[in-house]
């Protein structure tokens, strides 16, 4: 019992977390012949809230057929609450020494009690503007590509689809450019 509690509070190694994430693909197929993916929910949320007078065709469909998917991300939020608040890891993220030196060279403090840096996520006007703007890129890009890390990198590559190879190549190229050039430039 003590052992189980210990595990619930600890961060999980990649060889435990990775297979569990991969199992989402067969689990969704088995439960209801669903394709595992998260970013479609952003479209459903737009479809739910689109005012009558705006009328963009892309959001005119029966979102109620996708209720299962919205229920899934509500669950994701609850799971995040359990793992990040109730069973929060008491230790800071154990970054590699190289990564630690890098974020410190950018002017960020070493990770403390949160998964994300307070320098970027504390609710100041500057931070919220930055997060919102980067969020626009995430939302636009995932819908343009028809999926995100879950739908393309995991479901798409697991089912051997060329489309997802292109998407993952694009995602990684964009991420490298941001992480190597834009982050040091904009956040230092």
Partner 1 sequence: MKRYLPYLLAGMAFGFVLVKAEAASWYRIQEMFHFQSFHMFGIMATAIATGLASVQLIRYLGRRRALDGQTIEIPAKPPGRKSYLHGGFIFGLGWGLIGLCPGPVFALVGTGSIGALAVLAGALHGTWLYGALKDKVPH
Of residues 33-92, which lie at the interface with partner 1 (CB under 8 A)? Answer: 33, 35, 38-39, 41-43, 45-46, 49-50, 56-59, 67-69, 71-85, 89
Does 30 bind partner 1 (CB under 8 A)? Our answer is yes
Contacting residue, 20, 61, 64, 91, with partner 1 by CB under 8 A: 20
**3-state secondary structure (DSSP) of residue 188:** coil
Those residues whose C-beta lies under 8 Å from the C-beta of residue 171, and which sit 6 or more positions away, are: 145, 149, 152, 153
Binding residues for partner 1, rule CB under 8 A, total 125
* Binding residue (CB under 8 A) for partner 1 from 5, 27, 91, 104: 27
One DSSP character per residue, 59-128 reads: G-S-GGGGHHHHHHHHHHHHHHHIIIIIT--SSPP---HHHHHHHHHTTPPPP-SSSS-HHHHS--HHHH
Tell me how far, at minimum, the Cβ of 2 lies from partner 1, in Å: 18
- Opening angle at CA 12, ends 8 and 17, nearest 5: 115
Contact (Cβ atoms closer than 8 angstroms) between residue 30 and residue 4: no
At closest approach, how far in Å is the CB of 53 from partner 1?
14
Least distance from partner 1 to the Cβ atom of residue 1, Å: 19
- What residues numbered 102-141 form the site for partner 1, per CB under 8 A? 102-103, 111, 115-117, 120-123, 127-128, 130-141
């Amino acid at each position: 019992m003590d052992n189980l509690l210990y595990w619930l509070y600890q961060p999980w190694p990649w060889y435990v977390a990775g297979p569990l994430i991969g199992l989402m693909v067969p689990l969704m197929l088995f439960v209801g012949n669903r394709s595992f993916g998260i970013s479609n929910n952003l479209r459903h949320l737009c479809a739910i809230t689109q005012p009558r007078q705006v009328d963009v065709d892309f959001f005119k469909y029966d979102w109620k057929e996708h209720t299962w998917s919205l229920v899934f991300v509500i669950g994701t939020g609850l799971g995040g609450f359990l793992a990040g608040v109730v069973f929060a890891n008491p230790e800071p993220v154990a970054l590699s020494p190289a990564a630690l030196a890098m974020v410190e060279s950018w002017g960020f403090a070493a990770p403390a009690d949160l998964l994300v840096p307070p320098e970027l996520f504390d609710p100041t006007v500057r931070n919220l503007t930055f997060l919102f703007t980067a969020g626009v890129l995430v939302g636009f890009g995932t819908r343009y590509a028809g999926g995100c890390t879950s739908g393309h990198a995991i479901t798409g590559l697991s089912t051997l689809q060329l489309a997802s190879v292109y998407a993952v190549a694009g995602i990684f190229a964009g991420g490298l450019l941001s992480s190597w050039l834009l982050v040091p430039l904009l956040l230092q």
